[in-house]
Amino acid sequence: MLESGEAAPEIELRNQDGDTVSLPEAGTAVVYFYPRADTPGCTAEACSFRDTWAEYESRGIDVFGISDDPVADLAAFRDEYDLTVELLSDPDGTVASRYDSYGEKTVFGNTVEGVFRNTYVVRDGEIALAYEGVDPEDHAERLLADIESL
């Protein structure tokens, strides 16, 4: 995991609409990595950000969800659940790797390469908070409270 105070790696990925999106240089952003769109845990996490979106937006906090799903799958995921965050496609795991959020893991007894469920809060280009293996159900609410304490 990256640690507080480290420079946040650059992000330049296509979103659910196919537009290129970059991490802002100033301000606060949440960058959360999730393994697969439209699976139970990832859906719960995305919906928790949707349900708290007004609170993030009112504080000027950008939220980016990153997976290795193709753009078309992200668009379908957004549409199915009325998601409000930017969903970014990292098909080869390059950005996730820079954030120590991609690699070998065990899924249903099989060893595979994929995205880890990690989250970073980036403030003015630096890592402010880092979370490994978060609980997708209430992550967005807990994160807001932690951001408030910064």
Domain boundaries, the chain: 12-148
| Whole-angstrom distance, CA of residue 34 vs CA of residue 97 | 13
May I ask the CATH architecture of the domain 12-148? 3-Layer(aba) Sandwich (3.40)
Record the pTM.
0.96
Q: Which of 31, 42, 88, 121 is catalytic?
A: 42
| Whole-angstrom distance, CA of residue 53 vs CA of residue 57 | 6
DSSP for 32-73, please give it: EE-S-TTSHHHHHHHHHHHHTHHHHHHTTEEEEEEES--HHH
Q: How confident is the model at residue 77 (pLDDT cuts 50, 70, 90)?
A: very high
Whether pLDDT at 42 is above 90: yes
45-to-4, 8, 9, 65, 108 alpha-carbon distances in Å: 23, 22, 23, 10, 20
**Average pLDDT, integer, range 103-112:** 88
CB-hemisphere CA count at 13 Å for 125?
4
61, 71, 67, 66: which is closest to 30 by C-alpha? Answer: 61
Q: How confident is the model at residue 133 (pLDDT cuts 50, 70, 90)?
A: confident
Whether pLDDT at 107 is above 90: no
Helix (H) or strand (E) holding 87: strand 86-89
Whether pLDDT at 106 is above 90: no
**Average pLDDT, integer, range 21-26:** 93
Q: How confident is the model at residue 108 (pLDDT cuts 50, 70, 90)?
A: confident
The mean of the pLDDT values for the chain is: 96
Q: For this structure, is 42 an active site residue?
A: yes
